[in-house]
């Protein structure tokens, strides 16, 4: 759609349907509807009963997707929005909490990778009899307080 003199015509972006928003972002329409039900996304308006979104909705959807990809739950995202509205710098606390959680998950995944690497090359019938496993397990066991060891 254009307006005014053709020489100075300005293109006004048309509102998108939910299908168009989905195509633009790669996020399924079911997810977009779910986020709406959870109050995390709102259509700009409705036309003939259909949701319509402005171009700004693309950024909102992609941001929601990114926040979930880095490990924030929908409750975390809601908390982030609510706290940010009151105290803009409050996101630092949430980020610090999530960073600690991600570091814990990375450590757990590194343990899993190490154990699976040993197990995948073990030629013993019983993994528990494997010297490589026994060595790995001794190192893992040493990370626990002595009082917890059998």
Average pLDDT of 125-150? 83
Which pLDDT band holds residue 2 (cuts at 50, 70, 90)? low
Name the E strands within the chain. 2-3, 10-11, 45-47, 50-52
- What is the model's pLDDT at position 1? 52
Identify whether the C-beta of residue 25 lies closer than 8 Å to the C-beta of residue 65. yes
- Beta-bridged to residue 51, according to DSSP, are 46
Identify whether the C-beta of residue 51 lies closer than 8 Å to the C-beta of residue 89. no
Question: Tell me: the pLDDT tens digits for 65-104?
Answer: 999 998 889 998 988 888 877 887 878 888 888 899 999 9
% of the chain surpassing 70 pLDDT: 89
Give the orientation angle of helix 56-69 with respect to helix 74-86, to 10 degrees: 120
- What is the model's pLDDT at position 51? 82
CA neighbours closer than 13 Å in the CB half-sphere of residue 10: 3
Which pLDDT band holds residue 150 (cuts at 50, 70, 90)? low
**What's the pTM value of the predicted model, to 2 decimals?**
0.66
d(CA 44, CA 148): 57
Average pLDDT of 53-58? 90
Instruction: Check the CA dihedral 84-86-87-93 and report its sign.
Output: negative
């Amino acid at each position: 759609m254009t307006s005014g003199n053709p020489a100075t015509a300005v293109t006004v972006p048309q509102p998108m349907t939910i299908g168009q928003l989905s195509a633009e972002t790669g996020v399924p329409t079911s997810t977009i509807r779910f986020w709406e039900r959870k109050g995390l996304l709102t259509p700009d308006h409705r036309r003939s009963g259909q949701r319509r979104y402005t171009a700004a909705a693309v950024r909102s959807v992609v941001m929601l997707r990114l926040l979930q990809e880095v490990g924030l739950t929908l409750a975390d995202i809601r908390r982030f929005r609510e706290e940010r509205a009151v105290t803009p710098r409050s996101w630092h606390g949430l980020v610090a909490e999530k960073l600690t959680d991600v570091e814990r998950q990375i450590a757990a995944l590194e343990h899993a990778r190490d154990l699976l690497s040993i197990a995948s090359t073990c030629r013993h019938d019983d993994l528990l009899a494997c010297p490589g496993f026994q060595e790995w397990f001794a190192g893992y066991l040493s990370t626990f307080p002595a009082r917890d060891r059998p």
